[in-house]
Amino acid sequence: MIFRRILGFIPLIFGITFISFMIMHAAPGDPTMMFVDPSVQIQDMAQVKANLGLDKPVLVQYFFWLKEIGKGNLGFSYVSGQPVLDLLWERLPATLLLSVSSLILILCFTFPLGLLSGYKKDSFFDRAVTFLSFLGMSLPTFWLGLMLLLLFSLRWSLFPTFGFIDPFLEDASLWARAVSVLHHMFLPLLTILIGGLAGLIRFNRFSIIEILSQDYIQAGRARGLSERRLLFKHAFKNAALPIVTILGAGLSGLIGGSFVIEYIFSWPGMGQLGVSAVFARDYPVLMGSILFSSILIMLGNFLADLSYSKIDPRVRIR
Amino acid sequence: MLELKKLRTLFELSGGKTVTAVDGVSFEIKPGEVVGLVGESGSGKSVTALSIMGLLAANSRVESGEILWDGRNLLELTLSELRKLRGRDIALIFQNPLAALNPVFTIGNQMVETIQEHFSLDYKKSKDLALSWLKKVNIPDPEARFDQYPHECSLGMCQRIMIAITLVMKPRLLIADEPTASLDVTIQAQILHLLAELKDELDMSVLLVSHDMGVVAQQCDRVMVMYLGQIVEEGPTDKIFADPKHPYTKALLRAIPVPDPSKKHAFEPLAGDIPSPLNIPSGCSFHPRCSEKLPGCESQSPGIYSVQGCRVACHLFK
Ligand SMILES: Nc1ncnc2c1ncn2[C@@H]1O[C@H](COP(=O)(O)OP(=O)(O)O)[C@@H](O)[C@H]1O
Ligand SMILES: [Mg+2]
């Protein structure tokens, strides 16, 4: 069953990569734009394009790319000449670290805040959470990221402006390196959290309000169950269902958003690699990072479906 | 044991309007008694039940009156005092058993948590107690059901399970709000039979809420007839059914379908619609639908008169 689901991803990945390939080639500019040396002749540029296969029709290029993927070859960067696969592998841990920790933190904050503000509807606490959520939802992520960078890193030098870890800590203890990574990760993580949390807390609040009016909550009260048990056991598990769905569906947004954030904070992940590749028209690297992130998104969706069926006994994966 | 004195329960609607759903209801339930509360839907039966349990919705409150349990006014208890009473002393079962069970926890889980909320038993003992009750309510293969989810059981099965979850605490009063209204006729009879059996075994009192005169006639020692938030007639079941006094009771009895054409009265659905609770008729609230209306009925509310062992609120018996 699970195997069937994974097979189902393959056509999707074809679709995504095909469309990205077309858009990439439709966009103005090509890799030879990087050759700014005035002594380079037009014929030479054409020769370079021919060497790279860029003179062929786009469709042919796409099938060529696909054929190489089939052999496990993602090509070589136009810029650095390194194998794309190596570049991506190198970047994967940083991306996973940022997206997995933001996902975990989002869950850790959404539930207590959403549950309590739904339970204490219209209280001071609820109003405060509502106000902050609206604030969070109305701030564009990239603007927020730039502002945080500007204030905390550039003006007050509280946080580093780029990177993943302090390069001088290569031989330091594990603890010192972990602290350094956390220090570097703080602002990007905060930016993702503020953007990602706000809507989810609102949503969780509404589902809690809806769930608390259900018969089974009323029946639990009639049996003398405590409010704490009803809220944190009975309502919690039911409210977790839609959150898992939303997170599954919103995963692409989360990853897409973290591309921009990685770029702003020069976080050495796949997102930053991909965005830089866009500017450099480094097609193989760009296609590689699109391929990797779509696989990540699909795995995420798959995990969301799996946990959904774990939480809700009425749903079974087919 | 339970005594209601002039209970008045209001709903506050948006726009500052209020609806009086229960309007000066007084009655008493003695140990071991089975009392029926009948009336068309919307007459305030469920709101009466929820007022007793202290489970009114947020937009609803008891305006005046007393609910005495062994002489203690339940309206003056704190939530934690009330919680000890709920389930343990006074229990409630609902119309829709499937909705009254949390869909994402197993039946066993919900039974054990209820048992452990009230008794200090370890898991093993609680489970044994739960299984013995599943057996008592005639659930085939209780061990297997214990690990199933509510959606895996039929409605009738769910109602049996609800009865087990509720009666495992041996309450002294069971309020059953339309316990069979959602079930097939044959299952209905089985459930009513089961309730009657368990009532004798546990020596509890039952307040049986129903819109079905037939159900009440079979099960109850005493009947109270409710119309628009007021009790219009009350007395021993045999007297009410043999010789109804209030025109509303008579109309309700005429509205029972009788399959046997040789019976003396024909099936005659209740004339007119139940008035909007926002706009309750003046005087006797039944007068617009009454076939025996007197000149004073439109302006004066009737007193309560004792007639041959029954209490009737009707000008005919002044
Ligand atoms: N949630 C609610 N909001 C407003 N009014 C309500 C609500 N629930 C019940 N009522 C009012 O209380 C009256 C009695 O309802 P209820 O006790 O449920 O009747 P029933 O006798 O069918 O159980 C209804 O006619 C309605 O006017
Ligand atoms: Mg009702």
What pTM value is reported for the model?
0.83
Task: Tell me whether residues B83 and A311 touch, CB distance under 8 A.
Answer: no
Tens-digit pLDDT profile for residues A215-228 = 999 999 999 999 99
**Above 90 in pLDDT, residue B176?**
yes
- Compute the nearest-CA separation of B104 from chain A (Å): 6
Interchain CB contacts (distance < 8 Å): A and B: 79
Domain boundaries, chain A: 2-70, 91-311
Superfamily grouping for domain A91-311: MetI-like (1.10.3720.10)
Distance CA(A51)–CA(A182), nearest Å, equals: 44
Comparing C-alpha atoms, which of B273, B279, B274, B278 is closest to residue B11?
B278
Spell out which residues line ligand 1, taking CB within 6 angstroms.
B 11, 19, 21, 39, 41-47, 57, 277
Measuring from atom 18 of ligand 1, which residue has the nearest CA?
B46
Of B57, B87, B99, the CB nearest to A224: B87
Please, which residues have CB within 8 angstroms of residue B148's CB and are 6 or more apart in sequence?
Answer: B106, B107
pLDDT at A1: 67
b/e code A40-56 from CB counts within 10 Å (16+ = b): eeeeeeeebeeebebee
**For an interface test with A, which of B56, B59, B78, B102 has the most A Cβ atoms less than 10 Å from its Cβ?**
B102
Identify the three-state secondary structure at position A116. Answer: helix
Optimal mutation site among B104, B110, B145, B152, interface A, most CBs of chain A within 10 A: B104
Percent of chain B with pLDDT over 90: 70
DSSP character string of A275-318: HHHHHHT-HHHHHHHHHHHHHHHHHHHHHHHHHHHHH-TT----
pLDDT of residue B129: 96
Ligand 1 centroid from CA B64, angstroms: 18
Could A224 and B85 be called an inter-chain contact, meaning their C-beta atoms sit closer than 8 Å? Answer: yes
Domain boundaries, chain B: 2-89+211-257+267-317
Per residue in A87-142, pLDDT (tens digit) is 999 888 888 888 888 888 988 999 999 999 999 988 999 999 999 999 888 888 88
The residues on B that touch A, with CB distances below 8 Å, are: 53, 55, 57, 79, 83-88, 91-92, 94, 96, 99-106, 113-114, 117-118, 149, 151, 162, 165-166, 169
Measure the CA–CA gap between A65 and A230, rounded to whole angstroms: 55
Contact call for A312 and B94, based on CB within 8 A: no
Least confident of A3-7, A17-21, B102-106: A3-7
Average per-residue pLDDT for chain A:
85
* Beta carbons of A140 and A233 less than 8 angstroms apart: no
Structure confidence at residue B27 as a pLDDT band (50, 70, 90): very high
Three-class SS state of A76: strand
3-state SS track over chain B:
CEEEEEEEEEEECCCCCEEEEEEEEEEEECCCCEEEEECCCCCCHHHHHHHHHCCCCCCEEEEEEEEEECCEEHHHCCHHHHHHHECCCEEEECCCCCCCCCCCCCHHHHHHHHHHHHCCCCHHHHHHHHHHHHHHCCCCCHHHHHCCCHHHCCHHHHHHHHHHHHHCCCCCEEEEECCCCCCCHHHHHHHHHHHHHHHHHHCCEEEEEECCHHHHHHHCCEEEEEECCEEEEEEEHHHHHHCCCCHHHHHHHHCCCCCCCCCCCCCCCCCCCCCCCCCCCCCCCCHHHCCCCCHHHHCCCCCCEEECCEEECCHHHC
pLDDT bracket for residue B267 (50, 70, 90): low
A49: pLDDT strictly greater than 80: no
Instruction: Specify the range with the lowest mean pLDDT, choosing from A249-263, B79-93, B160-174.
Output: A249-263
Q: Minimum mean pLDDT among A198-207, A292-301, B171-180: which range?
A: A292-301
Binary contact (B117, A215; C-beta < 8 A)? no
Residue in A129, A130, A114 with CA at minimum distance from that of residue A236: A114
Tell me, what's the ipTM?
A: 0.90
pLDDT at A318: 45
Q: Identify which of B96, B99, B149 has the shortest CB distance to residue A313.
A: B149
- Spatial distance between the Cα atoms of A174 and B162, rounded to a whole number of angstroms: 55
Tell me what pLDDT residue A34 has. Answer: 65
Touching check for A238 and chain B: CB below 8 Å? yes
| Sign of the C-alpha dihedral computed for residues A280, A282, A283 and A285 taken in this order | negative
Say if residue A295's pLDDT is above 80: yes
**Between B25 and A170, where is the model more confident?**
B25
- Assess contact for B99 and B106: CB atoms under 8 A: no
Band (pLDDT 50/70/90 cuts) for residue A54 is: confident
Give yes or no for residue A269 having a pLDDT over 80.
yes
Asked if pLDDT for residue B178 goes beyond 90, the answer is yes
CATH class of B2-89+211-257+267-317: alpha beta
Distance CA B258, CA B261 (A): 7
Tell if the CB–CB gap between B83 and A313 is shorter than 8 Å. Answer: no
Asked if A237 and B169 come within 8 Å (Cβ–Cβ), the reply is no
Tell me which ligand sits closest to the C-alpha of residue B37. Answer: 1
CB-closest option in A222, A233, A238 to B53: A222
Query: Shortest Cα distance from A189 to chain B (angstroms)?
Result: 33
Identify the residue among A223, A230, A241, A310 best suited for mutation to test binding to B, counting B beta carbons within 10 A and taking the highest: A223
Q: How many whole angstroms from A288 Cα to the centroid of ligand 2? A: 62
Residues A101, A107: Cα–Cα separation, whole Å = 10
Lowest mean pLDDT among A172-181, B110-119, B163-172: A172-181
CA distance A110 to A239: 11
pLDDT at A206: 93
CB atoms within 10 A of CB A172: 14
pLDDT exceeds 80 at position A172:
no
State mean pLDDT over B154-167: 94
Which ligand 1 atom is the nearest neighbour of the CA of B39?
A: 21
Residue B112: pLDDT band with limits 50, 70, 90: very high
Cβ atoms of residues A266 and A272 within 8 Å: yes
DSSP annotation of A90: H
Computed over every residue of chain B, the mean pLDDT equals 91
The residue type found at A262 is E
Q: How confident is the model at residue B308 (pLDDT cuts 50, 70, 90)?
A: confident
Name the residue with higher pLDDT: B89 or A316.
B89
Residue environment code for B4-43, b if the CB has 16+ CB neighbours within 10 A, otherwise e = beebbbbbeeeeeeebbbbbbbebebeeebbbbbbbbebb
Average pLDDT of the segment spanning B67-92: 93
pLDDT band at B47, cuts 50/70/90? very high
- Pick A225's closest partner by Cβ from B106, B113, B166: B113
